Amino acid sequence: MPRNPVEANTGHRLTAKKRFLDQEGRWGLLLTSPYLIHFLVFVLGTLLTSLYFSLSNYDMLNPPEWVGLKNYDRLVHDPVFWKALWNTLYFVILFVPTQTFLALILAVALNQKLKGLKLFRMAHFVPVISSWTVILYVTDAVFNPRFGMANTLLTQLGLDPQKWLQDEVLVIPILVLIAVWKGVGYIMLIFLAGLQNVPQDLYEAAELDGAGVIKRFRYITLPMISGSTFLVLILSTISTFQAFEQIYVMTGGAADATAAGGPNNASLVLMLYLYREGFSFLHMGYASAIAWVLFVILFVLTWIQVRLQKRWVHYE
Amino acid sequence: MKKHVLLKKIPGYVVIIISSLIMITPFVTAVFNSLKTYTQYTAVPPKWIPDPVMWSNYAEVWKLTDFSQYTVNSLIVSVLSVIGSILSSSMIAYAFARLRFPFKNTLFMMVLGTMMIPPVVTIIPQFIIFKNLGMLDTLMPLWVIEWLGQPFGIFLMRQAFLSIPKSYEEAAKLDGCNPFQIYWKIFLPMCKPALATLAVFTFMGKWNEILAPVIYLTSQENFTLPIGILSLGGQWFGNEQFLVAAALMSLIPILLIFLVAEKYFVQGANNSGIK
């Protein structure tokens, strides 16, 4: 047994390794240092500053003046804030389930071996990769109150033409419709990835047992992709709560920021209200308070969803 | 049997054909609209096919506006963001995936934590930071943070680096490479698909971004394409066919990138869904 040489050898390697570890440690810290700066300045720093602003009056010209909870108190009594909160909720409640449901149907349809699949899939990505400005002018052909296709169709059916995005009642449903049209292709893709992980023999076994299409969908597909569904719901709820670009672009924010939010604030969502207060009226303190309320809502929502997840998400 | 299988596929075909038509028709209509005169554009009932075909609408956009300037600005922002994010995110991700160093777990928790903080909370202080740095109304705030690593990119690249066998870096160590050389010469070239995914997503995100340009840019000549075209709205009220042409032109680069890199788009979307 050549014990000694081995021991000597191991000992030598250990010290070499230790020295390398020091070097490795230095390199590790050096290579990750950009993110440390990112975190300290743009995440932690901004979070603390934002919290401080929300407790101050700040117009960017004079130094912030501490006012305690006054901004939050004002928020609670501000009818425009409540309207914006309601509009946001209304948007999320209409949008998230519709998009998720349609994306799932499309994914199931696209998951079969069909001819021309790639082309069909690409068709669904064109709205996804378009900016909201492009979407604005593309959908104008449909929803323009003067000469859009939607009104032409209505008049041909003998119905009254509508003002669509300029209509207080219709503005949010139409925005949701357009948002679903734009986003459904992307969510479909996430479901498609989930579907491709479902073992095919499960379906074959169920088919042999005489389970029909609907039963197979209900008892195999849905539980097997519940992980993807959960992620889609969480991610799209969080991002929809922060919706800004679509509403800014499509309801007049571009022309006049102070007027953003559609007729009678009918499509004023929280992000737009934040933008308007902060960047149009320079009420940075008040806008920061709106941001924190939004943050807390998102935090609570995520927490609830994670708790509920245990009840219905199936993990292998 | 074969007929039966074919029959079963019919509902699927019906769903995706109808859905594809719904997706594409507005775009086709927009292309036709961009080639009309204003009178024809606003005709009631609408006429689909342009007559005469106004190819000159596209030329007018370039002639009458800062469109070329917007394009250059958008390119600067998108390209610098792509370079910054692939360099910094991959470097940071390499350290997280392959090196042992103090506070590694704490730092990685910070990366994950950042993904959970809604950007809305940090917008206003970020604006103040860039104001104090004298970067308002420049393109800098739109790309500079990308050079400090992006959580999504770090996450994506870390996954890619984790899948490389250990023997590669051991061989390189024996050859006397330091960690940076291993990252730069061996790991980076091995992860081109992940880099491409990150590049495609960063480019698309920046090309289409509206919130940050709206907040940071005030002079017309600094506008990027999406807000530049929006700002033309007032100027061309009553000539919307020009705006449609401008919007469609701004879509072309992204469409080309997408056609070339479609598989990376699919990969990236899947990665963002399943973690």
DSSP annotation string for chain A: --HHHHHHHHHHHHHHHHHHHHHHHHHHHHHHHHHHHIIIIIIIIHHHHHHHHHTEE--SSS--EE-TTHHHHHHHT-HHHHHHHHHHHHHHHHHHHHHHHHHHHHHHHHTS--TTHHHHHHHHHHHHHS-HHHHHHHHHHHH-TTT-HHHHHHHHTTPPP--GGGSTTTHHHHHHHHHHHHHHHHHHHHHHHHHHTS-HHHHHHHHHTT--HHHHIIIIIHHHTHHHHHHHHHHHHHHHHT--HHHHHHTTTTT-GGG-SSGGGTT--HHHHHHIIIIIS--HHHHHHHHHHHHHHHHHHHHHHHHHHHHH----
Does the structure show a pLDDT above 80 at A53? yes
- Chain B hits for A139, CB-CB cut-off 8 Å, are 26
Write down the pLDDT at residue A313.
74
Query: What single-letter amino acid sits at B59?
Result: A
pLDDT digits (tens, 9 = 90+) for B226-238: 999 999 987 887 8
How far, in whole angstroms, is CA B98 from its chain's centroid? 28
Evaluate whether residue B77 is within a structural domain.
yes
Using pLDDT thresholds of 50, 70 and 90, give the confidence band for residue B92. Answer: very high
- Kindly report the CA angle at A18 between A17 and A24, in degrees rounded to 5? 85
Does the structure show a pLDDT above 50 at A227? yes
Write down the pLDDT at residue B222.
96
Closest CB to B148 among A37, A109, A181: A37
- Phi and psi (nearest 5°) for A181? -60, -40
Which residue's entry shows tokens 């530049």?
B228
Q: How deeply is B58 buried, as exposed, middle or buried, from its count of CB atoms within 10 A (0-12, 13-18, 19+)?
A: middle
Does the structure show a pLDDT above 90 at A141? no
* Contact criterion met (CB < 8 Å) for A185 and B23: yes
Do A71 and A285 meet the contact criterion of CB atoms below 8 Å apart? Answer: yes
- Chain B hits for A185, CB-CB cut-off 8 Å, are 23
Tell me which long-range contacts A12-20 makes (C-beta under 8 A, separation of at least 24): A20/B173
Write down the pLDDT at residue A19.
53
- Phi and psi (nearest 5°) for B60? -60, -40
Lowest mean pLDDT across A238-252, A254-268, B115-129: A254-268
Sign of CA dihedral A86, A89, A95, A101: negative
- The DSSP output letter for B164 is S
* Contact criterion met (CB < 8 Å) for B262 and A122: yes
Evaluate whether residue B38 is within a structural domain.
no
Find, among A233, A230, A239, A226, the residue nearest to A298 by Cα: A239
* Contact criterion met (CB < 8 Å) for A287 and B124: yes
Residues of the domain holding B85: 66-266
Which three-class secondary structure string do you get for A95-107? HHHHHHHHHHHHH
Tokens standing for B56? 């000159």
CA distance to A29, A104, B273, per residue, from A100 (Å): 42, 6, 13
Find, among A137, A74, A278, the residue nearest to B215 by Cα: A278
Evaluate whether residue B21 is within a structural domain.
no
pLDDT digits (tens, 9 = 90+) for A122-139: 999 999 999 999 999 999
What is chain B's length? 275
- CA–CA min distance B230, chain A (Å): 6
pLDDT digits (tens, 9 = 90+) for B8-62: 788 888 999 999 999 999 999 999 999 999 999 888 778 888 989 999 999 999 9
Write down the pLDDT at residue B170.
87
Closest CB to A245 among B101, B122, B210: B210
Evaluate whether residue B210 is within a structural domain.
yes
Closest CB to A25 among B100, B117, B118: B100
Evaluate whether residue B53 is within a structural domain.
no
Find, among A132, A148, A255, A231, the residue nearest to B211 by Cα: A132
Closest CB to B107 among A23, A32, A148: A32
Write down the pLDDT at residue A7.
44
Q: What is the pTM of this model?
A: 0.90
* Contact criterion met (CB < 8 Å) for A193 and B42: no
Query: What single-letter amino acid sits at B130?
Result: F
Question: For the domain that residue B139 is a member of, what is the CATH number?
Answer: 1.10.3720.10
* Contact criterion met (CB < 8 Å) for B129 and A126: no
The Cα A273–Cα B257 span in angstroms is: 35
What is chain A's length? 316
Write down the pLDDT at residue B258.
93
Is the peptide bond between B26 and the residue preceding it cis, with omega within 30 degrees of 0? no
Averaged pLDDT for residues A175-196: 94
Averaged pLDDT for residues A240-256: 83
- Chain B hits for A34, CB-CB cut-off 8 Å, are 88, 91-92, 147-149
* Contact criterion met (CB < 8 Å) for A49 and B92: no
- CA–CA min distance B163, chain A (Å): 19
- Chain B hits for A43, CB-CB cut-off 8 Å, are 110, 113-114, 117, 122
Helix (H/G/I), strand (E/B), else coil: B145: helix
Does the structure show a pLDDT above 80 at A116? yes
Query: What single-letter amino acid sits at B273?
Result: G
Evaluate whether residue B10 is within a structural domain.
no
Q: Give residues with Cβ within 8 angstroms of B11, minimum separation 6.
A: A109
Tokens standing for A229? 């569904």
* Contact criterion met (CB < 8 Å) for A131 and B225: yes
* Contact criterion met (CB < 8 Å) for A43 and B117: yes
Does the structure show a pLDDT above 80 at A316? no
Evaluate whether residue B252 is within a structural domain.
yes
Say which residue, B117 or A185, is predicted with more confidence.
A185
Closest CB to A295 among B118, B215, B262: B118
* Contact criterion met (CB < 8 Å) for A24 and B248: no
- Give me the number of domains chain B comprises: 1
Query: What single-letter amino acid sits at A311?
Result: R
Closest CB to B101 among A28, A60, A140: A28
* Contact criterion met (CB < 8 Å) for B226 and A131: yes
Averaged pLDDT for residues A36-51: 95
Evaluate whether residue B228 is within a structural domain.
yes
